[in-house]
Amino acid sequence: MLEQTDRLALAVPDRRVAAEAFRQLYDAEVVDDAMDAAFSARRLTLGWGHDQLELLEPAGDGPVREFLSQNRRGIFAGGVAAPDPAGIAAGLERQGVRVRQESADRFAVTPDDGDGVGMIISKTADREPVGLDTRLWQITYAVPDLEAAIARYVALLRMEGMYTYRYTSDLYGYDGAITWFDSRRDGLLDSLEYLDPNDPEKAVARFLRRTGQGIYMASIETGPGALAELRERVRSTGPGWDGDDDTLGFIHPLRQHGLLLGIVDSDAWHARRQLPGG
């Protein structure tokens, strides 16, 4: 069973340049720099709050170079963690998804093999936080058919027993749903979100026309004071922050090497999320 959304992998032309940008914004620190054979890339891994951010720089022909050549710079793969990642990987393979094993506890799916969605499945880990107090809590897919996408990913990732909440956003122009890994009131926020555009002029629809189904954005939660600190760091160094609410903001992908990121106050979001029973 999935327990966490624990990492993002970005496709970037230069991993060191990207790493410096994230160091300045989040006080992220390099924890590894190694070859990733599954993705044919150099993989620079940053400690990013309680989770990890992987920066993939092409190291020859392969899925990362192809992703960048299609002008799809940004989130190449989203990572989920489970006590038994091999079991999740085996389930994907039984349903016809090609899975590349990188180690005993790490498995990868490229965007081309995952219907536009790259995945990394690894073993649940409890890490000491690095930099600002943040956690990756949601990975968001843009999809052309909401109900088909929910059924597909629930089956692929063995989420049948998890609660999926459906909603509509008139402001952003989509029908959406969230599958919570833990739907207890005091459980983690970690989840997958699916957005099916209903307004052709809004951003999700434009993304889907440009790239097809894929990972649209991600969201982090912050501890006390961290959201305000991030807002100040972005605004003091240029444009790219959207939002004046003390519980929610967004950082534009141009500031983060293609990563569109939502930032929420953890306590506020725990209080407002929709769970079974209202």
- Ordered structural domains, the chain, with CATH: 4-123 (3.10.180.10), 134-272 (3.10.180.10)
- Rounded to 5 degrees, φ, ψ at 221 are -110, 150
Q: Which amino acid is at 41?
A: A
Q: Mapping DSSP to helix (H, G, I), strand (E, B) and coil, where does residue 74 land?
A: strand
Number of other CB atoms surrounding residue 40 within 10 Å: 18
Which residues, other chains included, contact 200 with Cβ-Cβ below 8 Å and sequence gap of 6+? none
- What's the average model confidence in pLDDT over 82-92? 97
Q: How far is CA 47 from CA 6, 19, 28, 53, in A?
A: 11, 11, 5, 7
pLDDT reading at 64 higher than 70 = yes
CA angle 16, 99, 189 (to 5 degrees): 70
Which residues, other chains included, contact 245 with Cβ-Cβ below 8 Å and sequence gap of 6+? none
pLDDT reading at 16 higher than 90 = yes
- Rounded to 5 degrees, φ, ψ at 117 are -110, 115
pLDDT tens-digit series, residues 200-224: 999 999 999 999 999 999 999 998 8
In whole angstroms, give the CA distance from residue 249 to residue 155. Answer: 32
Query: Would you place residue 232 in the very low, low, confident or very high pLDDT band (cuts 50, 70, 90)?
Result: very high
In whole angstroms, give the CA distance from residue 146 to residue 198. Answer: 11
In whole angstroms, give the CA distance from residue 123 to residue 106. Answer: 7
Return the exposure string of 87-96: e unless at least 16 CB atoms fall within 10 Å of the residue's CB, then b: ebbebbeeee
Strands 191-197 and 248-251: unpaired
Which of 34-43, 64-73, 163-172, 258-267 has the least mean pLDDT?
A: 64-73
- Rounded to 5 degrees, φ, ψ at 275 are -125, 170
DSSP code at position 225? T
Distance, C-alpha 245 to centroid of its chain = 22
Whole-prediction pTM: 0.97
Query: Would you place residue 278 in the very low, low, confident or very high pLDDT band (cuts 50, 70, 90)?
Result: low
List the structure tokens of 196: 């099916």
pLDDT reading at 115 higher than 90 = yes
